[in-house]
Structure 1
Amino acid sequence: MVTSITSETEFDALKSNGLSVIHFYADWSEPCQHMNNILADLVLEDEFRNIKIAKCLAEDFAEISLKYNVSAVPKFILFRNGVQVDVLDGADPIQLNKKIQALLTKGDKTDQKVEDISLRLKSLINSAPVLLFMKGSKSEPKCKFSTAIVNLLKETGAEFSTFDILKDQVVREKLKTYSNWPTYPQLYINGELIGGLDIVKELIENGELNDLLKLNNSKPNLNDRLKALTHKSDVMAFIKGNKQVARCGFSNQLIKILNQTGIDYETFDILSDEEVRQGLKVYSDWPTYPQVYVKGSLIGGLDIIKELEEAGELISTLKGTPTFV
Protein backbone atom coordinates (compact mmCIF):
# COMPACT_ATOMS: atom_id res chain seq x y z
CA MET A 1 0.00 0.00 0.00
CA VAL A 2 1.28 3.47 -0.92
CA THR A 3 1.32 5.70 2.15
CA SER A 4 -0.31 9.11 1.88
CA ILE A 5 1.69 11.68 3.85
CA THR A 6 -0.56 13.58 6.26
CA SER A 7 1.96 15.51 8.37
CA GLU A 8 5.57 16.65 8.46
CA THR A 9 6.14 14.29 11.37
CA GLU A 10 4.95 11.35 9.29
CA PHE A 11 7.19 12.47 6.42
CA ASP A 12 10.25 12.62 8.69
CA ALA A 13 9.48 9.24 10.25
CA LEU A 14 8.91 7.52 6.92
CA LYS A 15 12.22 8.61 5.41
CA SER A 16 14.30 8.11 8.54
CA ASN A 17 14.92 4.35 8.37
CA GLY A 18 15.80 2.12 5.45
CA LEU A 19 15.04 2.90 1.83
CA SER A 20 12.05 5.08 0.99
CA VAL A 21 10.60 6.60 -2.18
CA ILE A 22 8.39 9.67 -1.90
CA HIS A 23 6.33 10.97 -4.81
CA PHE A 24 5.57 14.69 -4.73
CA TYR A 25 2.41 15.07 -6.74
CA ALA A 26 -0.71 17.13 -7.49
CA ASP A 27 -4.29 15.89 -7.74
CA TRP A 28 -4.89 17.82 -10.94
CA SER A 29 -1.92 16.32 -12.78
CA GLU A 30 -2.63 13.33 -15.04
CA PRO A 31 1.07 12.29 -15.14
CA CYS A 32 1.02 12.26 -11.33
CA GLN A 33 -2.06 10.06 -11.25
CA HIS A 34 -0.43 7.71 -13.73
CA MET A 35 2.69 7.45 -11.57
CA ASN A 36 0.58 6.86 -8.45
CA ASN A 37 -0.92 3.86 -10.24
CA ILE A 38 2.61 2.67 -11.09
CA LEU A 39 3.60 2.98 -7.42
CA ALA A 40 0.50 1.04 -6.37
CA ASP A 41 1.70 -1.83 -8.56
CA LEU A 42 5.31 -1.56 -7.32
CA VAL A 43 4.40 -2.05 -3.66
CA LEU A 44 2.88 -5.42 -4.56
CA GLU A 45 6.18 -6.68 -6.00
CA ASP A 46 8.01 -9.03 -3.65
CA GLU A 47 11.41 -7.50 -4.43
CA PHE A 48 10.18 -4.11 -3.17
CA ARG A 49 8.60 -5.39 0.04
CA ASN A 50 11.21 -3.71 2.26
CA ILE A 51 10.90 -0.30 0.61
CA LYS A 52 8.60 2.37 2.02
CA ILE A 53 6.71 4.06 -0.81
CA ALA A 54 4.66 7.20 -0.19
CA LYS A 55 3.03 10.13 -1.93
CA CYS A 56 3.01 13.73 -0.74
CA LEU A 57 0.76 16.51 -2.04
CA ALA A 58 3.33 19.15 -2.94
CA GLU A 59 1.00 22.12 -2.50
CA ASP A 60 -0.19 20.97 0.94
CA PHE A 61 3.35 20.70 2.29
CA ALA A 62 4.98 23.85 0.96
CA GLU A 63 7.87 23.87 3.44
CA ILE A 64 8.86 20.30 2.62
CA SER A 65 8.53 21.01 -1.10
CA LEU A 66 10.72 24.09 -0.77
CA LYS A 67 13.33 22.21 1.25
CA TYR A 68 13.65 19.53 -1.43
CA ASN A 69 13.40 21.88 -4.43
CA VAL A 70 10.06 20.61 -5.66
CA SER A 71 9.18 23.18 -8.32
CA ALA A 72 7.31 20.82 -10.65
CA VAL A 73 5.45 17.54 -10.35
CA PRO A 74 5.70 14.63 -10.55
CA LYS A 75 8.98 14.48 -8.63
CA PHE A 76 10.43 11.48 -6.83
CA ILE A 77 12.98 11.68 -4.03
CA LEU A 78 14.72 8.55 -2.80
CA PHE A 79 16.03 8.37 0.76
CA ARG A 80 18.23 5.95 2.63
CA ASN A 81 18.15 6.28 6.42
CA GLY A 82 16.96 9.87 6.20
CA VAL A 83 19.51 11.00 3.61
CA GLN A 84 18.48 11.96 0.09
CA VAL A 85 20.38 9.66 -2.27
CA ASP A 86 18.65 10.18 -5.62
CA VAL A 87 15.96 12.14 -7.40
CA LEU A 88 13.82 11.81 -10.51
CA ASP A 89 11.86 14.57 -12.24
CA GLY A 90 8.92 13.71 -14.46
CA ALA A 91 6.74 10.69 -15.17
CA ASP A 92 9.26 8.05 -16.18
CA PRO A 93 8.40 4.64 -14.65
CA ILE A 94 11.32 2.88 -16.35
CA GLN A 95 13.89 5.29 -14.92
CA LEU A 96 12.23 5.18 -11.51
CA ASN A 97 12.44 1.40 -11.49
CA LYS A 98 16.11 1.56 -12.50
CA LYS A 99 16.94 4.02 -9.74
CA ILE A 100 15.21 1.89 -7.10
CA GLN A 101 16.91 -1.24 -8.38
CA ALA A 102 20.30 0.48 -8.26
CA LEU A 103 19.79 1.49 -4.64
CA LEU A 104 18.57 -1.98 -3.72
CA THR A 105 21.64 -3.54 -5.31
CA LYS A 106 23.98 -1.14 -3.54
CA GLY A 107 22.20 -1.77 -0.26
CA ASP A 108 22.29 -5.54 -0.78
CA LYS A 109 26.04 -5.45 -1.32
CA THR A 110 26.58 -3.40 1.83
CA ASP A 111 24.24 -5.58 3.86
CA GLN A 112 25.81 -8.72 2.38
CA LYS A 113 29.29 -7.59 3.41
CA VAL A 114 28.15 -7.05 6.99
CA GLU A 115 26.26 -10.33 6.94
CA ASP A 116 29.25 -12.20 5.50
CA ILE A 117 31.46 -11.01 8.37
CA SER A 118 28.83 -11.95 10.94
CA LEU A 119 28.37 -15.37 9.37
CA ARG A 120 32.11 -15.94 9.35
CA LEU A 121 32.40 -15.01 13.03
CA LYS A 122 29.42 -17.18 13.93
CA SER A 123 30.94 -20.08 12.03
CA LEU A 124 34.28 -19.55 13.75
CA ILE A 125 32.98 -19.48 17.31
CA ASN A 126 30.96 -22.63 16.61
CA SER A 127 33.87 -24.44 14.93
CA ALA A 128 34.92 -26.14 18.18
CA PRO A 129 33.09 -26.93 21.45
CA VAL A 130 35.69 -24.92 23.42
CA LEU A 131 37.43 -22.15 21.51
CA LEU A 132 39.86 -19.51 22.71
CA PHE A 133 40.56 -16.37 20.68
CA MET A 134 44.03 -15.29 21.73
CA LYS A 135 47.35 -13.83 20.65
CA GLY A 136 49.44 -16.72 19.41
CA SER A 137 48.63 -20.39 19.80
CA LYS A 138 48.19 -22.97 22.52
CA SER A 139 51.83 -23.99 22.14
CA GLU A 140 53.18 -20.46 21.68
CA PRO A 141 51.14 -17.68 23.33
CA LYS A 142 52.21 -14.16 22.35
CA CYS A 143 51.13 -12.15 25.40
CA LYS A 144 50.98 -12.64 29.17
CA PHE A 145 47.18 -12.71 29.29
CA SER A 146 46.99 -15.39 26.59
CA THR A 147 49.73 -17.37 28.38
CA ALA A 148 47.84 -17.18 31.66
CA ILE A 149 44.47 -18.33 30.27
CA VAL A 150 46.05 -21.16 28.26
CA ASN A 151 47.76 -22.45 31.41
CA LEU A 152 44.47 -22.29 33.35
CA LEU A 153 42.60 -24.22 30.63
CA LYS A 154 45.36 -26.83 30.42
CA GLU A 155 45.05 -27.39 34.16
CA THR A 156 41.39 -28.36 33.74
CA GLY A 157 42.36 -31.21 31.42
CA ALA A 158 39.68 -30.14 28.93
CA GLU A 159 40.21 -30.22 25.18
CA PHE A 160 40.15 -26.75 23.62
CA SER A 161 41.03 -25.11 20.33
CA THR A 162 42.55 -21.70 19.69
CA PHE A 163 42.38 -18.97 17.06
CA ASP A 164 45.32 -16.58 16.62
CA ILE A 165 43.87 -13.07 16.25
CA LEU A 166 47.30 -11.74 15.23
CA LYS A 167 46.91 -13.56 11.92
CA ASP A 168 43.51 -12.07 11.01
CA GLN A 169 42.96 -8.37 11.59
CA VAL A 170 39.33 -8.49 10.42
CA VAL A 171 38.42 -11.13 12.98
CA ARG A 172 40.45 -9.33 15.64
CA GLU A 173 38.52 -6.07 15.19
CA LYS A 174 35.04 -7.30 14.27
CA LEU A 175 34.74 -9.93 17.00
CA LYS A 176 34.94 -7.17 19.61
CA THR A 177 31.78 -5.63 18.20
CA TYR A 178 30.07 -8.94 17.40
CA SER A 179 30.35 -10.17 20.99
CA ASN A 180 30.38 -6.76 22.66
CA TRP A 181 33.65 -7.63 24.41
CA PRO A 182 36.49 -5.15 23.81
CA THR A 183 39.57 -7.16 24.84
CA TYR A 184 41.38 -10.45 24.30
CA PRO A 185 41.64 -13.30 25.08
CA GLN A 186 38.01 -14.42 24.68
CA LEU A 187 36.76 -17.89 25.62
CA TYR A 188 33.70 -19.49 23.97
CA ILE A 189 31.96 -22.70 24.96
CA ASN A 190 29.40 -24.12 22.52
CA GLY A 191 29.37 -20.83 20.65
CA GLU A 192 28.59 -18.77 23.77
CA LEU A 193 30.99 -16.12 25.06
CA ILE A 194 32.24 -16.94 28.54
CA GLY A 195 34.58 -13.97 28.90
CA GLY A 196 38.24 -13.12 29.26
CA LEU A 197 40.99 -13.99 31.70
CA ASP A 198 39.39 -12.35 34.74
CA ILE A 199 36.06 -14.14 34.18
CA VAL A 200 37.80 -17.49 33.74
CA LYS A 201 39.72 -16.93 37.00
CA GLU A 202 36.45 -16.16 38.81
CA LEU A 203 34.78 -19.27 37.40
CA ILE A 204 37.70 -21.41 38.54
CA GLU A 205 37.60 -19.89 42.03
CA ASN A 206 33.86 -20.57 42.24
CA GLY A 207 34.26 -24.11 40.93
CA GLU A 208 32.02 -23.35 37.94
CA LEU A 209 34.40 -23.65 34.99
CA ASN A 210 34.64 -27.44 35.05
CA ASP A 211 30.84 -27.66 35.00
CA LEU A 212 30.73 -25.43 31.91
CA LEU A 213 33.42 -27.44 30.17
CA LYS A 214 31.55 -30.69 30.84
CA LEU A 215 28.45 -29.26 29.20
CA ASN A 216 30.21 -29.02 25.86
CA ASN A 217 29.83 -32.76 25.42
CA SER A 218 26.10 -32.74 26.10
CA LYS A 219 25.03 -29.95 23.75
CA PRO A 220 25.27 -30.72 20.01
CA ASN A 221 27.21 -28.18 18.00
CA LEU A 222 25.52 -26.25 15.22
CA ASN A 223 26.77 -28.44 12.37
CA ASP A 224 25.44 -31.58 14.08
CA ARG A 225 22.11 -29.86 14.55
CA LEU A 226 21.94 -28.74 10.92
CA LYS A 227 22.82 -32.23 9.73
CA ALA A 228 20.01 -33.67 11.83
CA LEU A 229 17.53 -31.08 10.53
CA THR A 230 18.39 -31.63 6.86
CA HIS A 231 17.90 -35.37 7.41
CA LYS A 232 14.69 -35.00 9.41
CA SER A 233 12.58 -36.01 6.40
CA ASP A 234 13.45 -37.43 2.98
CA VAL A 235 12.38 -34.08 1.56
CA MET A 236 13.00 -30.99 3.70
CA ALA A 237 12.16 -27.42 2.74
CA PHE A 238 13.67 -24.58 4.75
CA ILE A 239 11.34 -21.66 4.21
CA LYS A 240 9.86 -18.54 5.77
CA GLY A 241 6.72 -19.82 7.44
CA ASN A 242 5.26 -23.31 7.05
CA LYS A 243 3.12 -25.41 4.70
CA GLN A 244 -0.06 -23.72 5.84
CA VAL A 245 1.19 -20.12 5.98
CA ALA A 246 4.17 -19.15 3.83
CA ARG A 247 5.57 -15.77 4.83
CA CYS A 248 7.20 -14.62 1.62
CA GLY A 249 6.46 -14.87 -2.09
CA PHE A 250 9.33 -17.25 -2.84
CA SER A 251 8.36 -19.66 -0.06
CA ASN A 252 4.74 -19.54 -1.20
CA GLN A 253 5.72 -20.43 -4.78
CA LEU A 254 7.87 -23.32 -3.57
CA ILE A 255 5.09 -24.77 -1.40
CA LYS A 256 2.67 -24.68 -4.32
CA ILE A 257 5.12 -26.55 -6.56
CA LEU A 258 5.93 -29.18 -3.91
CA ASN A 259 2.24 -29.71 -3.15
CA GLN A 260 1.56 -30.38 -6.82
CA THR A 261 4.08 -33.25 -6.86
CA GLY A 262 2.10 -35.22 -4.26
CA ILE A 263 5.34 -36.17 -2.50
CA ASP A 264 5.49 -36.00 1.28
CA TYR A 265 7.79 -33.34 2.67
CA GLU A 266 8.40 -31.38 5.84
CA THR A 267 9.26 -27.73 6.37
CA PHE A 268 11.36 -25.77 8.83
CA ASP A 269 10.52 -22.15 9.55
CA ILE A 270 13.82 -20.23 9.43
CA LEU A 271 12.09 -17.20 10.98
CA SER A 272 11.73 -19.20 14.20
CA ASP A 273 15.45 -19.87 14.66
CA GLU A 274 18.08 -17.28 13.73
CA GLU A 275 20.96 -19.66 14.47
CA VAL A 276 19.66 -22.16 11.92
CA ARG A 277 18.79 -19.40 9.45
CA GLN A 278 22.33 -18.03 9.39
CA GLY A 279 24.23 -21.27 10.01
CA LEU A 280 22.59 -23.22 7.19
CA LYS A 281 23.83 -20.67 4.65
CA VAL A 282 27.40 -21.53 5.66
CA TYR A 283 26.77 -25.25 6.16
CA SER A 284 25.47 -25.69 2.58
CA ASP A 285 27.25 -22.75 0.97
CA TRP A 286 23.91 -21.45 -0.31
CA PRO A 287 23.20 -17.79 0.60
CA THR A 288 19.43 -17.52 0.11
CA TYR A 289 16.10 -19.10 1.01
CA PRO A 290 14.08 -21.18 0.42
CA GLN A 291 16.33 -24.28 0.33
CA VAL A 292 15.24 -27.83 -0.53
CA TYR A 293 17.05 -30.97 0.64
CA VAL A 294 16.54 -34.60 -0.35
CA LYS A 295 17.92 -37.17 2.09
CA GLY A 296 20.17 -34.51 3.56
CA SER A 297 21.61 -33.30 0.26
CA LEU A 298 20.98 -29.80 -1.03
CA ILE A 299 18.97 -29.57 -4.24
CA GLY A 300 18.82 -25.78 -4.38
CA GLY A 301 16.38 -22.91 -4.16
CA LEU A 302 13.21 -21.90 -5.98
CA ASP A 303 14.90 -21.31 -9.34
CA ILE A 304 16.45 -24.80 -9.33
CA ILE A 305 13.14 -26.39 -8.37
CA LYS A 306 11.43 -24.51 -11.22
CA GLU A 307 14.08 -25.68 -13.69
CA LEU A 308 13.65 -29.29 -12.57
CA GLU A 309 9.87 -28.97 -12.88
CA GLU A 310 10.13 -27.53 -16.41
CA ALA A 311 12.53 -30.32 -17.40
CA GLY A 312 10.18 -32.99 -16.02
CA GLU A 313 12.83 -34.08 -13.50
CA LEU A 314 11.44 -32.74 -10.24
CA ILE A 315 9.50 -35.80 -9.04
CA SER A 316 12.34 -38.20 -9.84
CA THR A 317 14.79 -35.87 -8.08
CA LEU A 318 12.63 -35.66 -4.98
CA LYS A 319 12.26 -39.44 -4.93
CA GLY A 320 15.85 -40.28 -5.78
CA THR A 321 19.33 -39.45 -4.59
CA PRO A 322 20.19 -35.91 -5.72
CA THR A 323 23.55 -34.42 -6.48
CA PHE A 324 24.70 -31.00 -5.36
CA VAL A 325 24.02 -28.18 -7.76
Structure 2
Amino acid sequence: MANLTDATSLQQFEELFKKNSKSLTVVHFHAAWAPQCSQMNDVMAELAKEHKHTMFVKLEAEAVPEVSEKYEITSVPTFLFFKGGEKIDRLDGAHAPELTNKVQRLGSGGGGAARAGDVPKEDLNERLKRLINAAPCMLFMKGSPQEPRCGFSRQTVQILKDHNVHYSSFDIFSDEEVRQGLKTYSNWPTYPQVYVNGELIGGLDIVKELVESGELENTFPKTVSLESRLKSLINKAPVMLFMKGNKEVSELKCPLFLPFLSPETQFKRELNENGELASVLKGEN
Protein backbone atom coordinates (compact mmCIF):
# COMPACT_ATOMS: atom_id res chain seq x y z
CA MET A 1 0.00 0.00 0.00
CA ALA A 2 1.27 3.43 -0.94
CA ASN A 3 0.26 4.92 2.42
CA LEU A 4 1.95 2.21 4.56
CA THR A 5 5.74 2.13 4.60
CA ASP A 6 8.87 1.56 6.67
CA ALA A 7 11.41 4.23 7.63
CA THR A 8 14.82 2.63 8.10
CA SER A 9 16.96 5.76 8.40
CA LEU A 10 16.79 9.36 9.58
CA GLN A 11 16.99 10.60 5.99
CA GLN A 12 14.08 8.42 4.87
CA PHE A 13 12.04 9.52 7.90
CA GLU A 14 12.58 13.20 7.06
CA GLU A 15 11.79 12.68 3.37
CA LEU A 16 8.47 11.04 4.24
CA PHE A 17 7.54 14.09 6.30
CA LYS A 18 8.30 16.47 3.45
CA LYS A 19 6.12 14.48 1.06
CA ASN A 20 3.19 14.25 3.51
CA SER A 21 3.45 17.50 5.44
CA LYS A 22 -0.20 18.46 4.84
CA SER A 23 -1.84 15.15 5.73
CA LEU A 24 -1.93 13.15 8.95
CA THR A 25 1.13 10.94 9.46
CA VAL A 26 1.10 8.14 12.04
CA VAL A 27 4.48 6.74 13.11
CA HIS A 28 4.70 3.40 14.91
CA PHE A 29 7.91 3.00 16.92
CA HIS A 30 8.24 -0.77 17.24
CA ALA A 31 10.69 -3.58 18.02
CA ALA A 32 11.03 -6.96 16.35
CA TRP A 33 11.21 -8.76 19.71
CA ALA A 34 7.91 -7.37 21.02
CA PRO A 35 4.86 -9.49 20.02
CA GLN A 36 2.46 -6.64 20.81
CA CYS A 37 4.20 -4.55 18.13
CA SER A 38 3.49 -7.21 15.52
CA GLN A 39 -0.16 -7.13 16.54
CA MET A 40 -0.29 -3.34 16.21
CA ASN A 41 1.38 -3.52 12.79
CA ASP A 42 -1.59 -5.63 11.67
CA VAL A 43 -3.94 -2.98 13.06
CA MET A 44 -2.01 -0.30 11.16
CA ALA A 45 -2.34 -2.27 7.93
CA GLU A 46 -6.12 -2.41 8.32
CA LEU A 47 -6.30 1.30 9.14
CA ALA A 48 -4.20 2.10 6.07
CA LYS A 49 -6.79 0.37 3.87
CA GLU A 50 -9.57 2.53 5.31
CA HIS A 51 -7.74 5.87 5.57
CA LYS A 52 -6.17 6.38 2.16
CA HIS A 53 -5.21 10.00 2.86
CA THR A 54 -3.29 9.17 6.05
CA MET A 55 0.36 8.06 5.88
CA PHE A 56 1.32 5.18 8.19
CA VAL A 57 5.02 4.73 8.95
CA LYS A 58 6.69 1.83 10.77
CA LEU A 59 10.03 2.66 12.39
CA GLU A 60 12.15 0.21 14.39
CA ALA A 61 13.03 2.24 17.48
CA GLU A 62 16.46 0.72 18.10
CA ALA A 63 17.50 0.88 14.44
CA VAL A 64 17.01 4.66 14.11
CA PRO A 65 18.08 5.96 17.55
CA GLU A 66 18.33 9.58 16.37
CA VAL A 67 14.57 9.73 15.83
CA SER A 68 13.72 7.71 18.95
CA GLU A 69 15.83 9.95 21.18
CA LYS A 70 14.46 13.13 19.62
CA TYR A 71 10.88 12.15 20.45
CA GLU A 72 11.73 10.52 23.81
CA ILE A 73 10.63 7.00 22.90
CA THR A 74 11.21 4.88 26.00
CA SER A 75 8.96 1.89 25.29
CA VAL A 76 7.30 0.06 22.42
CA PRO A 77 4.84 0.20 20.88
CA THR A 78 4.57 4.00 20.81
CA PHE A 79 2.62 5.99 18.22
CA LEU A 80 3.22 9.62 17.28
CA PHE A 81 0.80 11.67 15.19
CA PHE A 82 2.02 14.49 12.96
CA LYS A 83 0.28 17.08 10.83
CA GLY A 84 1.77 20.13 9.16
CA GLY A 85 5.22 19.02 10.26
CA GLU A 86 4.26 19.23 13.95
CA LYS A 87 3.63 16.48 16.50
CA ILE A 88 -0.01 16.78 17.55
CA ASP A 89 -0.63 13.65 19.63
CA ARG A 90 0.94 10.55 21.16
CA LEU A 91 -0.20 7.08 22.19
CA ASP A 92 1.89 4.75 24.36
CA GLY A 93 1.12 1.05 24.41
CA ALA A 94 -0.81 -1.53 22.39
CA HIS A 95 -4.27 0.04 22.51
CA ALA A 96 -5.87 -0.77 19.16
CA PRO A 97 -9.27 0.87 19.77
CA GLU A 98 -7.67 4.10 20.99
CA LEU A 99 -5.34 4.13 17.98
CA THR A 100 -8.34 3.70 15.70
CA ASN A 101 -10.21 6.55 17.40
CA LYS A 102 -7.24 8.91 17.16
CA VAL A 103 -6.72 8.16 13.47
CA GLN A 104 -10.40 8.79 12.75
CA ARG A 105 -10.51 12.01 14.79
CA LEU A 106 -7.19 13.53 13.74
CA GLY A 107 -7.49 12.41 10.13
CA SER A 108 -10.80 14.23 9.78
CA GLY A 109 -9.35 17.49 11.08
CA GLY A 110 -10.39 16.94 14.69
CA GLY A 111 -14.05 16.47 13.93
CA GLY A 112 -14.50 19.40 11.57
CA ALA A 113 -17.07 19.60 8.81
CA ALA A 114 -16.81 16.94 6.13
CA ARG A 115 -15.38 18.02 2.80
CA ALA A 116 -16.72 17.20 -0.61
CA GLY A 117 -15.37 13.84 -1.77
CA ASP A 118 -14.66 12.54 1.73
CA VAL A 119 -15.16 8.82 2.35
CA PRO A 120 -18.66 8.12 3.81
CA LYS A 121 -18.84 7.34 7.51
CA GLU A 122 -18.08 3.71 8.27
CA ASP A 123 -21.08 1.46 8.84
CA LEU A 124 -21.59 0.99 12.60
CA ASN A 125 -21.70 -2.81 12.44
CA GLU A 126 -18.47 -2.90 10.45
CA ARG A 127 -16.86 -0.61 13.00
CA LEU A 128 -18.04 -2.75 15.92
CA LYS A 129 -16.75 -5.88 14.22
CA ARG A 130 -13.37 -4.26 13.71
CA LEU A 131 -13.22 -3.08 17.33
CA ILE A 132 -14.00 -6.46 18.88
CA ASN A 133 -11.31 -7.99 16.65
CA ALA A 134 -8.76 -5.26 17.34
CA ALA A 135 -6.87 -7.52 19.78
CA PRO A 136 -6.98 -11.23 20.74
CA CYS A 137 -8.73 -10.18 23.96
CA MET A 138 -10.88 -7.03 24.09
CA LEU A 139 -12.48 -5.55 27.20
CA PHE A 140 -15.26 -3.00 26.69
CA MET A 141 -15.56 -1.24 30.02
CA LYS A 142 -16.54 1.94 31.82
CA GLY A 143 -13.36 3.96 32.12
CA SER A 144 -9.84 2.60 31.62
CA PRO A 145 -7.84 -0.19 33.32
CA GLN A 146 -5.96 2.53 35.19
CA GLU A 147 -9.16 4.34 36.23
CA PRO A 148 -12.23 2.06 36.13
CA ARG A 149 -15.49 3.99 36.52
CA CYS A 150 -17.69 1.23 37.92
CA GLY A 151 -17.26 -1.65 40.36
CA PHE A 152 -17.94 -4.37 37.78
CA SER A 153 -15.29 -3.00 35.43
CA ARG A 154 -12.82 -2.68 38.31
CA GLN A 155 -13.35 -6.31 39.34
CA THR A 156 -12.94 -7.54 35.77
CA VAL A 157 -9.69 -5.64 35.34
CA GLN A 158 -8.38 -7.08 38.60
CA ILE A 159 -9.21 -10.65 37.56
CA LEU A 160 -7.47 -10.24 34.20
CA LYS A 161 -4.47 -8.75 35.97
CA ASP A 162 -4.35 -11.52 38.58
CA HIS A 163 -4.37 -14.16 35.84
CA ASN A 164 -1.77 -12.41 33.68
CA VAL A 165 -4.17 -11.97 30.75
CA HIS A 166 -2.97 -9.85 27.83
CA TYR A 167 -5.81 -7.60 26.62
CA SER A 168 -6.74 -4.26 25.11
CA SER A 169 -9.61 -2.12 26.34
CA PHE A 170 -12.17 0.36 25.06
CA ASP A 171 -13.82 3.02 27.22
CA ILE A 172 -17.50 2.98 26.26
CA PHE A 173 -17.95 6.45 27.79
CA SER A 174 -15.70 7.79 25.02
CA ASP A 175 -18.17 6.87 22.26
CA GLU A 176 -21.93 6.78 22.83
CA GLU A 177 -22.57 5.19 19.43
CA VAL A 178 -20.35 2.23 20.31
CA ARG A 179 -21.80 2.04 23.81
CA GLN A 180 -25.37 1.65 22.57
CA GLY A 181 -24.61 -0.21 19.35
CA LEU A 182 -22.58 -3.00 20.94
CA LYS A 183 -25.50 -3.94 23.21
CA THR A 184 -27.60 -4.74 20.15
CA TYR A 185 -24.76 -6.14 18.04
CA SER A 186 -23.83 -8.77 20.66
CA ASN A 187 -27.25 -9.05 22.31
CA TRP A 188 -25.68 -8.31 25.69
CA PRO A 189 -27.28 -5.36 27.54
CA THR A 190 -24.67 -4.58 30.20
CA TYR A 191 -20.99 -3.71 30.64
CA PRO A 192 -18.25 -4.76 30.93
CA GLN A 193 -18.13 -7.09 27.93
CA VAL A 194 -15.17 -9.38 27.23
CA TYR A 195 -14.30 -10.78 23.79
CA VAL A 196 -11.68 -13.35 22.80
CA ASN A 197 -10.75 -13.71 19.13
CA GLY A 198 -13.82 -11.70 18.17
CA GLU A 199 -16.25 -13.89 20.13
CA LEU A 200 -18.24 -12.63 23.12
CA ILE A 201 -17.25 -14.37 26.36
CA GLY A 202 -19.62 -12.36 28.55
CA GLY A 203 -19.51 -10.03 31.51
CA LEU A 204 -18.11 -10.17 35.02
CA ASP A 205 -20.28 -13.12 36.11
CA ILE A 206 -19.08 -15.28 33.21
CA VAL A 207 -15.46 -14.34 33.86
CA LYS A 208 -15.89 -15.34 37.52
CA GLU A 209 -17.41 -18.68 36.46
CA LEU A 210 -14.38 -19.34 34.24
CA VAL A 211 -12.11 -18.66 37.21
CA GLU A 212 -14.06 -21.02 39.48
CA SER A 213 -14.12 -23.80 36.88
CA GLY A 214 -10.43 -23.42 36.09
CA GLU A 215 -11.18 -22.73 32.42
CA LEU A 216 -10.01 -19.12 32.36
CA GLU A 217 -6.35 -20.07 31.80
CA ASN A 218 -7.22 -21.86 28.55
CA THR A 219 -9.67 -19.22 27.34
CA PHE A 220 -7.63 -16.02 27.48
CA PRO A 221 -4.28 -15.09 25.85
CA LYS A 222 -1.40 -14.77 28.29
CA THR A 223 1.00 -11.84 28.66
CA VAL A 224 4.63 -12.77 28.08
CA SER A 225 6.37 -11.54 31.23
CA LEU A 226 9.50 -9.42 31.05
CA GLU A 227 11.36 -12.16 32.92
CA SER A 228 10.36 -14.78 30.33
CA ARG A 229 11.23 -12.46 27.45
CA LEU A 230 14.67 -11.72 28.92
CA LYS A 231 15.29 -15.41 29.58
CA SER A 232 14.45 -16.19 25.95
CA LEU A 233 16.80 -13.48 24.71
CA ILE A 234 19.81 -14.42 26.83
CA ASN A 235 19.43 -18.08 25.82
CA LYS A 236 19.12 -17.29 22.11
CA ALA A 237 22.77 -18.23 21.51
CA PRO A 238 25.65 -19.75 23.52
CA VAL A 239 27.14 -16.25 23.82
CA MET A 240 24.90 -13.16 23.73
CA LEU A 241 26.19 -9.56 23.61
CA PHE A 242 23.75 -6.77 24.52
CA MET A 243 25.10 -3.51 23.09
CA LYS A 244 24.25 -0.12 21.59
CA GLY A 245 23.78 -0.49 17.82
CA ASN A 246 25.16 -3.63 16.16
CA LYS A 247 28.60 -5.05 15.54
CA GLU A 248 28.96 -3.66 12.02
CA VAL A 249 31.52 -0.84 11.70
CA SER A 250 29.07 1.78 10.53
CA GLU A 251 26.48 0.99 13.18
CA LEU A 252 28.58 0.81 16.36
CA LYS A 253 27.28 3.38 18.87
CA CYS A 254 29.62 2.90 21.84
CA PRO A 255 33.45 2.52 21.88
CA LEU A 256 33.26 0.41 25.05
CA PHE A 257 32.21 -2.53 22.90
CA LEU A 258 35.25 -2.39 20.58
CA PRO A 259 37.06 -5.25 22.39
CA PHE A 260 34.14 -7.56 21.53
CA LEU A 261 34.51 -7.06 17.77
CA SER A 262 36.20 -9.65 15.58
CA PRO A 263 39.77 -8.81 14.41
CA GLU A 264 38.43 -8.40 10.87
CA THR A 265 35.77 -5.91 11.95
CA GLN A 266 38.25 -3.97 14.10
CA PHE A 267 40.63 -3.76 11.14
CA LYS A 268 37.84 -2.43 8.91
CA ARG A 269 36.95 0.14 11.54
CA GLU A 270 40.57 1.35 11.71
CA LEU A 271 40.70 1.66 7.91
CA ASN A 272 37.42 3.56 7.95
CA GLU A 273 38.69 6.03 10.55
CA ASN A 274 41.89 6.56 8.51
CA GLY A 275 39.94 7.15 5.32
CA GLU A 276 41.50 4.09 3.66
CA LEU A 277 38.53 1.69 3.67
CA ALA A 278 37.07 2.74 0.31
CA SER A 279 40.38 2.38 -1.55
CA VAL A 280 41.04 -1.04 0.01
CA LEU A 281 37.62 -2.30 -0.99
CA LYS A 282 38.21 -1.07 -4.55
CA GLY A 283 41.55 -2.93 -4.66
CA GLU A 284 43.64 0.21 -5.02
CA ASN A 285 46.07 -0.79 -2.23
TM class by shorter-chain length?
0.3 to 0.5
Q: Which has the higher contact order (CA 8 A, sep 6+)?
A: 2
TM-score (norm 2): 0.37
For the pair shown, the structure with the greater C-alpha radius of gyration is 1
TM-score (norm 1): 0.33
